Structure 1
Amino acid sequence: MMQGCENALAEPLLRRAPRIAYRNGEAAAVLAEAGTLAVLGFGAGARVGDDPRCLDVALECFDAPAPLEVWQVDATVEHGRTGAVRWAAGGGWLFASIERDEGPRGDPRGTAQEAYEQLREVLAGRAERHVLRVWNYLDAINEGEGDGERYKRFCEGRAAGMGNRFAEGFPAATAIGHHGPAGRLQVYLLACDQPGARVENPRQVSAWRYPRQYGRTPPSFARAMLLPARDALAISGTAAVVGHASAHQDDLHAQLEETLTNLEALLACAGLAPGFDTQSPLKAYVRHPADAAFVRDFLARRLPGVPVLLLHGDICRRELLVEIDGWRYA
């Protein structure tokens, strides 16, 4: 018995999850605080600065002024640039981001491949090699037909750029269409020096097992990721998908209800209590600006007190009107 206790004590301390919160204020003040790993601003007026910990996300917020999204850890943070990749690291955690422009070729496949190759190279040289969560924002995500649709081309490029980087399993992820600069791809991620635990939704086919109708290369992500200490769940972009099919076409209310059902299924599979609270920041991506007020009121009623950042974004399937991602702390 004593030997078992000694072995348990010798195990590495699991990393406490970063604290993610929405805050109003100036980015410079937040960056001056100890432990700031990342600061995200939203929309054309964000301009959070050139610090490697900062990223101006090309998604407009329906609320003004748009809050900052702040990531903080209990450790000293160092930061820098490696080629086109901006990064910050502290306490076993890594924030990394890259922006790439398609240029004259106008094809997201090659741009996504280049972005992921560069991220992969940076991760290969770091202790924080376990990618837990990724966000991808590209413009005109639904343009094109069949295998030529821009989202499907992005998925092909992402997979090519990943190579065998995620042989152990895919991270949680979001892919949303922005209305910012044409041809701009933004990718940012959270990685750790310890692995998390992937969570799938029994109501949905795992994304990498989607049938051929969704493209030559299926989407490469897990539905959610439990962080190493099992103290937070990073939730992928979640919408009204049952099995592999979109549900409730053109019915915003029904899509919202189905999305919440899927979110609750993820919490149950992760072993977490149902529901979200004031410490569970979410993002709601809304396709049509005219729907923003309805989505805001719906979520205020169904998720009272939960901080929700309401953003103008196109969902990866044309028939889907809303998608939600975010965090749930244990």
Structure 2
Amino acid sequence: MLGVAILGDGEAGFVPNGVPLARVATPVLAGPQAICEVWRAGGPVRAGARGRVRYRCSETMLFGAIELDERAMPAGMEGVSVLQRATAAVYREVFALLDEAGYPALFRAWNYFPAINAVADGSERYWQFNAGRQEAFGAGGRSTTGRVPAACALGSAHGPFTLYFIALREAPLAIENPRQVCAYHYPEQYGPRSPTFARASLALSQTPPVLFVSGTASIVGHKTLHPGDVVAQTAESFRNIAAVLAEARRADPAGSGLDSRDLAYKVYVRYPGDLGAVRACFREHVGDAVPVVFVQADVCRDDLLVEIEASGGHAMEDGR
């Protein structure tokens, strides 16, 4: 066992000592009160800690988790929000660990914090998060365009800023979507600092190759499509996932597990009342036989009603 993320507010089972754990207040919309997301490695693992980061690693892969309560941040510079400083601090700690431990390539990052769409300290909190993340990438010698990790950023119901992540010894391929502007090239109307993530990330160094599709929503070019229509947004999200998978197959023509029905999914729904419509649309696109969890979370733009992430190439168990 490399690491665990518990989604929801209930207990999801016993987590052994030494296993890094991320708790995320994204209420589960179908099934038990909490879902346990377990990441495993195929060989021996060792555990460690550096600062606030707890981690476990195999020969080729590292899973880590860190959280930071924004209220614990000291008073800072004028014009730099608490969330921006917290984000930068968390990512600086992560990059220091990865460089020290020898897993320099950030592969996939999951970011959660409350009130993602709220305006505070003069700007939207998601914009503040992007500024802090980009600052830390630059300070850590990482590119903020091109070879960037797969990622998502969602609004949790409550709790601290929480990041869990997977890193590799060998850099994965960043996969982009020809239907969309690269997120790191978004125009300034979406914030003064662009998001730092790729639409997907493909690790050819793993056997079989592992693919992470970032949080995907109803965006074409750089614009939100179908505002107010959750079914159309869900369908558009799947069209974007299909485009990303096509690009991944071009990068690895011999790869398997790069079809939409070979993936595991996490679906973030803004309004719980939309669950039935989203589930029906999900079933229409990928059927009933795939592992999926539906949770409530706020999406990074206030006009987006649903976001879908996916992964494949790893062992999958469905606990539904």
Please tell me the TM-score bracket, short chain as reference.
Answer: 0.7 to 0.9
Output the amino acid matched with 1:70: V
Residues 240, 259 of structure 1: 8 Å contact kept:
yes
Tell me the CA shift for residue 64 of structure 1. 2.5
More deviation, 146-155/194-203: 146-155
Partner of 1:281: 264
| 1:123 maps to 2:98 | yes
Tell me the CA shift for residue 54 of structure 1. 2.1
- Aligned positions of 1:288-299 closer than 5 A: 288-299=271-282
Output the amino acid matched with 1:245: K
| 1:46 maps to 2:11 | yes
Partner SS, residue 270 of structure 1:
helix
Residues 73, 91 of structure 1: 8 Å contact kept:
no
> What percentage of aligned pairs have identical amino acids?
34
Partner SS, residue 55 of structure 1:
strand
Partner SS, residue 30 of structure 2:
coil
Superposed CA RMSD:
2.0
1:220 & 1:61 partners in 2: Cα distance? 27
Partner of 1:68: 36
Output the amino acid matched with 1:38: G
Tell me the CA shift for residue 284 of structure 1. 0.4
- Aligned positions of 1:100-179 closer than 5 A: 100-103=68-71, 107-144=82-119, 148-162=123-137, 163-167=139-143, 169-179=147-157
Residues 235, 281 of structure 2: 8 Å contact kept:
no
Tell me the CA shift for residue 200 of structure 1. 0.3
Residues 52, 80 of structure 1: 8 Å contact kept:
no
Partner of 2:210: 232
2:140 & 2:51 partners in 1: Cα distance? 22
More deviation, 160-169/252-261: 160-169
CA spacing shift, 1:211–1:146, aligned 2, 3 Å:
farther
- Aligned positions of 1:198-277 closer than 5 A: 198-229=174-205, 231-271=209-249, 275-277=259-261
* TM-score, scaled to structure 2: 0.86
1:119 & 1:173 partners in 2: Cα distance? 15
Tell me the CA shift for residue 146 of structure 1. 10
Partner of 2:308: 324
2:199 & 2:103 partners in 1: Cα distance? 21
Tell me the CA shift for residue 164 of structure 1. 4.2
Partner SS, residue 249 of structure 1:
coil
Partner of 2:60: 92
CA spacing shift, 1:51–1:62, aligned 2, 3 Å:
farther
More deviation, 79-88/311-320: 79-88
Tell me the CA shift for residue 80 of structure 1. 2.1
* TM-score, scaled to structure 1: 0.83
Partner SS, residue 67 of structure 1:
strand
Runs of at least 5 residues in structure 1 that lack an aligned partner in the other structure: 1-35
1:112 & 1:195 partners in 2: Cα distance? 23
